[in-house]
Amino acid sequence: MVTMGNRSDGNPVLLKADNTVFYPTRIPFEERRFEEGWLQRLIERNPGLLPVEDIEPVFAPLIPIGTEVGTDAGPIDNLFISPAGYLTIVETKLWRNPEARRQVVGQIVDYAKDISHWSFEKLDMQVRNYNRRHQSLENGILETIRFTKDSQMIGEAKLVDTISRNLERGRLLLLIVGDGIRESVEAMVEFLTRTPQLQFTLALVELQVYEIKTGEAKDLLVIPQVVTRTREITRAVVHIEGVDIQSVRVDVDTSTAGDVAGSRRRTISEQDYFNALGQSLSPDQVEFAQQIIRDMEDLGCLIQWRQASYVVRLADPSGSGQKLTLFVVTKDGQVYVGWLPGQLKNIGLPQEIGYEFVEESSKPFKGCRVHPTNRESWAKSISLGQLHERYEDFVLLVERTIVRIRSASAKAEG
């Protein structure tokens, strides 16, 4: 049995239904209990183990399309694709020597550089080879995505275009996965600045492996954690002065032109969201969508990016780690509300706060009402244009609801 979950501080405790308590024992990474091939197979068979949704949502869920994939830079340990056409490269490492730590970042970036020169046809051939070896099937990329359980594939022509564009631009997720990872972002800079033309996200994921002894059986508990990830893309501009090239000056562009909120660069998920939004809405409406993000962050909310939307959420004031959904803005400019009452119930707070938010938030908008059979949501969405007309009222309601949630949480703790 392999159990997967989120990492927590301290050592985990397993409490069974019969009140039996087990204290898992951490398997030190210095021990040679596992090989990197074990990690590769674990990830291939259990891609949900990797917290990709928390890193870059457009890359989730992971669909395996290759192991030991040949490139000019060497074999890629694991290769995945999402239903939306975004590729993830995984390099597994067991940190047994300093040399591996120094080399692995440059190694995975070299894989990204090589993949960025691939065509859709070359990638499709690699996927067919993988399926032929592992499943005795001739399926290419499109068939692999289509026949993946619960996968919602976009139109085939659009998917091919997206994959081709992502390859060309190097819009990739690079994951270094292993045990005992203790790298710093500073150690990555040298490698990242070598590839300003690529638009990848790089993250380090540590897998803590624990052993649970239940009689003669020895089960494993695997707990993933994102150690760190790149959040900015720094662009270097080279100025060549003089006919005989006697002077070369390199400027680093740290401007925030085009950034949401003007204070940080967008992730790939954000970039693609606003690109899609701009195709169907006016620049003023796109700016309004950005303003919503700024205003909600000022209220202490979190913005969670999905493949087709961003979600405005509030962290549980009690610190449980649960996030409460206030509303959603889709990439085609629709806004809707839902789920808050049930989420409040799950953390022991009054559902009525959520029900009142759903009801009161629907009132300012013509044609909008609470769902007749589900009080947790609106019956239909509204447009960004409709929200803009009554935005001040909506923000005040959101703020009032946040205050009520925090007050209820404080009373519950007291």
Regarding whether 174 and 37 lie in a shared domain, the answer is: yes
Question: Is residue 292 included in any domain, yes or no?
Answer: yes
Domain count, the chain: 2
For residue 407, pLDDT over 80 is answered with yes
The C-alpha atoms of residue 203 and residue 228 are separated, in whole angstroms, by: 6
Regarding whether 226 and 77 lie in a shared domain, the answer is: yes
Regarding whether 36 and 151 lie in a shared domain, the answer is: yes
Report residue 24's pLDDT band, with 50, 70 and 90 as the boundaries.
Answer: confident
Q: What is the pLDDT of residue 398?
A: 97
Residue written as token pair 């690079």: 174
Tens-digit pLDDT profile for residues 34-86? 778 888 999 999 999 999 988 888 898 999 999 999 999 999 999 999 998 99
Regarding whether 158 and 100 lie in a shared domain, the answer is: yes
Q: What percent of the chain has pLDDT over 90?
A: 49
Q: What is the pLDDT of residue 85?
A: 92
Question: Is residue 71 included in any domain, yes or no?
Answer: yes
Question: Is residue 23 included in any domain, yes or no?
Answer: yes
What does the radius of gyration of the chain's CA atoms come to, in whole angstroms?
24
Regarding whether 205 and 84 lie in a shared domain, the answer is: yes
Regarding whether 184 and 293 lie in a shared domain, the answer is: no
Q: What is the pLDDT of residue 97?
A: 56
Which long-range contacts does 121-127 make (Cβ < 8 Å, 24+ apart)? 123/87, 123/163, 123/167, 126/65, 126/66, 126/69, 126/79, 127/65, 127/66
Least confident segment among 130-134, 198-202, 367-371, 398-402: 198-202
Residue written as token pair 């700016």: 287
Average pLDDT over residues 257-286: 73
Report residue 349's pLDDT band, with 50, 70 and 90 as the boundaries.
Answer: very high
Q: What is the pLDDT of residue 254?
A: 39
Which residue among 181, 201, 235 closes a domain? Answer: 235
Quick check: 268 and 169 in contact, CB under 8 A? no
Question: Is residue 248 included in any domain, yes or no?
Answer: no
Regarding whether 229 and 371 lie in a shared domain, the answer is: no
Which residue among 235, 252, 274 closes a domain? Answer: 235
Q: What percent of the chain has pLDDT over 70?
A: 79
Report residue 191's pLDDT band, with 50, 70 and 90 as the boundaries.
Answer: low
For residue 280, pLDDT over 50 is answered with yes
Question: Is residue 120 included in any domain, yes or no?
Answer: yes
Question: Is residue 400 included in any domain, yes or no?
Answer: yes
Quick check: 351 and 339 in contact, CB under 8 A? no
Please name the helix (run of DSSP H) or strand (run of DSSP E) that holds residue 228, with its range, or none: strand 217-229
**Most trustworthy range by pLDDT among 102-111, 148-157, 216-225, 370-379:** 370-379
Question: Is residue 250 included in any domain, yes or no?
Answer: no
Regarding whether 273 and 145 lie in a shared domain, the answer is: no
Q: What is the pLDDT of residue 102?
A: 60
For residue 196, pLDDT over 90 is answered with no
For residue 260, pLDDT over 60 is answered with no
Task: Output 279 or 237, whichever has higher pLDDT.
Answer: 279
Q: What is the pLDDT of residue 230?
A: 62
Regarding whether 231 and 95 lie in a shared domain, the answer is: yes
The structure tokens listed for 238 are: 């080279």
Regarding whether 284 and 216 lie in a shared domain, the answer is: no
Averaged pLDDT of the chain = 82
Residue type, 261: A
For residue 263, pLDDT over 50 is answered with no
Q: What is the pLDDT of residue 103?
A: 76
Question: Is residue 243 included in any domain, yes or no?
Answer: no
Regarding whether 84 and 204 lie in a shared domain, the answer is: yes
Residue 39 lies in domain: 2-235
Regarding whether 137 and 222 lie in a shared domain, the answer is: yes
Residue written as token pair 């962290």: 315
Q: What is the pLDDT of residue 150?
A: 64
DSSP string covering 141-157: HHHHHHTSTT-----HH
